[in-house]
Structure 1
């Protein structure tokens, strides 16, 4: 009886185990079609089922591991990367192909300013270089459509070497976005070369060159006001020592590299309606610029004390020319005589050179507003005659306008120089082409037929010094 019970218990145990296998492996249901005792091959089958079960468990483990790895990667991907060294709204432009196998110390500053551009002001313009501090002077350079890259590069290079950017922000005004884009790489390349030039002269301070590095460094206790251009930096940078190591060129001992911002606008941003188009059949930039200045100067009216307007095509800036107006009233406007004004006394002849105008910020704003009104009036008078309108003639007329001099709200203190801006050809012709005669002047006029003369003479001097190592065209 005991034996019978043991057999029954064993059979029940087998049935219970195989009943569990029926759930997971229904293909073995044939072993339990009846209530009879298991067949002789049951032991082998059970062993195979254990092997299959082990493989299934291994497969499930692999799947679970893959699931958790995927979940971990997805979780990590949701975290924002560190942006301490990346500026928002940046637009990368690869401008210079550098030899990465040999990076020298003097390339450090140029690499820091090479690739990033921003909006300059209220989502307008392009900021190529953000200055180290706020400047009192503003230089606006209008770029004619017909200028070529050769002449534009010479102007930009000389304005860097002149020392003007140590105390002034520089704005380039183009007629259209396409013209602006075509010259953007020149501006950026010359910015980078300028920083390489600074690094070079820091390493060799006693070098022979007309580039004065000391103009760009100051140890004065200046208020570290932030420049108006670009996005504001939300950090406390009021002390020079706190900024050491964060901005290029700041050395121990409180020496600050003082450089202005470099940026550009196009006329479609500052004068989107082309205000003069209804009065003139063709509006060249030499006239349209006067409709752009009021908007630009109005938006930065509290940021600058002095303003200079300069023609890129016809003028070259070799030294800082703001010295003539820095100690004068905010209403003062300094004008240069036209080179032909000495030949005639007629009031209808051009007397004022419209290529360079310097003055206090308030006087320059009033002048720009008045010129726009006068251009409209002149266009109405010349419409029937179909004669061109000249801003030089208009400026000459305004200097004799008593209302402009004594008006209660728009008075301008005109200071007209009896001397004209020298031409490059006249300077080199009298001195057998010596370059010193050119570079001793703050501003020179290229003239109609001597662009090659000025370029050859100036390039010869630049490339005769150690500075040639930073210029690729030397």
Structure 2
């Protein structure tokens, strides 16, 4: 009815005027809405012209509406068309990797719920998580070496890596990005050099490199296309997986690398009211409850490791696969570390908190109990600043109440000391706390002893024997 009132305003005005003329109740003079005087009448030819104009206007309005509808449908169709697919080649994969490196040099996105830094988003969701914390005395060179050995060991092919820093550090940020680039170069160089060398002279891969990129390669089957995305960073429509060697049936798979500082995980400094001096070795236990609760049910196994004390030469989760989610494995300290004397009582073995491996539920419960033990001990008289992390952890390990919450398993083996004869195949983890050994030199010499690694890592030139 509104359309007819707009198209035929004269007839509507005439109806209102006629109604008012015959209204006996109205005392006011009716208002004449007509533009012409009452005695004036339009000729029949003019009425036909007016009808034709109105019909033309109606047709124009209908045409405009149809045109707008067609335009909207056309734009919607174009926007929903799938992108053009091209055959993936080695050059395309290298270009994407280079683009990722350039984008990573700028401001990094948040890792989780507006916190942390996402250094590298993995190709899929992992079941294992390595949480490595940095103490105040950790040097950038020691940190780079830890991360390099972790990539080299193949552990990051099945695990996400989470760093906990005492504070924000641009030096550590640059080190993470550099080692991520080295990792991608190592995969590329291995694929090209090892393939060509094997075909030409038949040398084995062990003589060329100790790095095995097969850990990072999986078949691109229909099952892998429906794998879960990583929880870190923003969700994407497709994973960041890249083709390996141009073969469409294979793709790289690796975990995410993220970092948090203690001010994000423990903004109120929970232990400040109980201890005068809070080292990073103790404050990290106040950081675990927040981050481990937020990622609960996303990981099956978790490792807590001190980067200053321990380096990983193999996947730490290989020894606990198949264990229950409440199980927690800890290692013992060398028997001569306790006040320089050997501990002959095996029931009172000294365990070390430098590396803890276990199921998700067991590690979370252990972290909560350790935080409670720190607070309880600090409230005792004259114990405010005397307790150390190792003493508190052994005190907790000997508490019978712990066994009701956590299935603590003390391994018979201890973390081995680093020596000049250390090799990747001898030990899964090595302690680098010996004061009479140049730890960094031995580890770097171990890595740079292979031709491929010495060609990729730019700092190997001083460790290669001439």
Query: What is the TM-score of this pair, normalised by structure 2?
Result: 0.70
Which whole-Å deviations, capped at 9, do the CAs of 1:77-130 have from their partners, x for residues lacking one?
A: xxxxxxxxxxxxxxxxxxxxxxxxxx9996863552344221000110001000
Partner in structure 1 of residue 192 of structure 2: 203
Q: Deviations over 1:326-374 (max 9, x none)?
A: 2100000000011236822679987111110000000001000000000
Deviations 1:279-313 (CA, angstroms, capped at 9, x unpaired): 00011110000010011010000110000000011
Residues 316, 439 of structure 1: CA spacing in aligned structure 2 closer, same or farther, 3 A cutoff? farther
- 1:306–1:405 CA distance, 2 compared to 1 (3 A): same
- The structural deviation recorded for 1:402 is 2.3
Matched, 1:120 2:111: yes
**Maintained 8 Å contact 2:241/2:253:** no
Following the alignment from structure 1 to structure 2, what is the Cα–Cα distance between the partners of residues 395 and 462? 34
Are the counterparts in 2 of residues 216 and 258 from structure 1 also a CA contact under 8 Å?
yes
Q: Distance in 2 between matches of 1:271 and 1:380?
A: 20
**1:324 aligned partner:** 319
Q: 1:134–1:226: 8 Å Cα contact kept in structure 2? A: yes
- Residue aligning to 1:66: none
- Give CA-to-partner distance per residue, 1:355-395, whole Å, 9 cap, x none: 100000000010000000000111122x5255522222222
Question: What is the aligned partner in structure 1 of residue 391 from structure 2?
Answer: 393
* Cα distance in 1, alignment partners of residues 158 and 250 from structure 2: 15
Equivalent residue for 1:191, pick from 164, 171, 180: 180
Change (3 A) 1:111 1:449: farther
Count of aligned residue pairs for this structure pair: 347
1:94-173 aligned within 5 A: 109-116=97-104, 117-173=108-164
- Inter-partner Cα distance in structure 1 for 2:277 and 2:189: 47
Q: What's the offset of the Cα at 1:249?
A: 3.4
When structure 1 is superposed on structure 2, of 195-204 and 354-363 the one drifting more is 195-204
Q: Distance in 2 between matches of 1:153 and 1:216?
A: 20
- Alpha-carbon distance between aligned partners in 2 of 1:107 and 1:319, rounded to the nearest angstrom: 30
Q: Is the 8 A contact 2:119 2:176 kept in 1?
A: yes
Q: Which residue is equivalent to 2:355?
A: 356
Decide whether aligned partners of structure 1 residues 110 and 336 sit closer, same or farther in structure 2, where only a CA change above 3 A counts.
farther
Q: Secondary structure at the match of 1:124?
A: coil
Residues 1:264 and 2:255 aligned together: no
Q: List aligned pairs for 1:21-420, cutoff 5 A.
A: 109-116=97-104, 117-177=108-168, 180-205=169-194, 206=198, 207=205, 208-219=208-219, 221-222=223-224, 223-233=226-236, 235=237, 237=238, 247-250=241-244, 251-340=246-335, 343-344=342-343, 351-381=350-380, 384=382, 387-406=385-404, 411-420=405-414
Structure 2: unaligned runs, 5 residues or longer? 1-90, 199-204, 461-466
Partners in 1 of 2:155 and 2:100 — Cα distance?
21
TM superposition score normalised by structure 1: 0.69
Contact 1:112 1:248 in 2 (8 A): no
Q: SS at 2:459's partner residue?
A: coil
Q: Structure 1: 5+ residue runs without aligned partners?
A: 1-102, 238-242
Distance in structure 2 (CA, Å) of the matches to 1:249 and 1:388: 54
Task: Report what 2:415 is aligned to.
Answer: 421
- Equivalent position SS for 1:131: coil
Mapping of residues 431-450 of structure 1, within 5 Å: 433-436=420-423, 439-450=425-436
Give me the whole-angstrom Cα distance separating, in 2, the residues matched to 1:462 and 1:357: 25
Aligned pair partner of 1:462 in 441, 447, 452? 447
Distance 1:258 1:414, change over 3 A: same
Where 1:260 maps in the other structure, the secondary structure is coil
- On the 8 A contact 1:141/1:173 being kept in 2, the answer is yes
Distance 1:358 1:456, change over 3 A: same
The alpha carbon displacement at 1:260 in A equals: 0.3
Larger Rg: 1
Tell which deviates more after alignment, 443-452 or 277-286: 443-452
Q: CA offset at residue 167 of structure 1?
A: 0.5
Q: Distance in 1 between matches of 2:379 and 2:330?
A: 26
Q: Which has the higher contact order (CA 8 A, sep 6+)?
A: 2
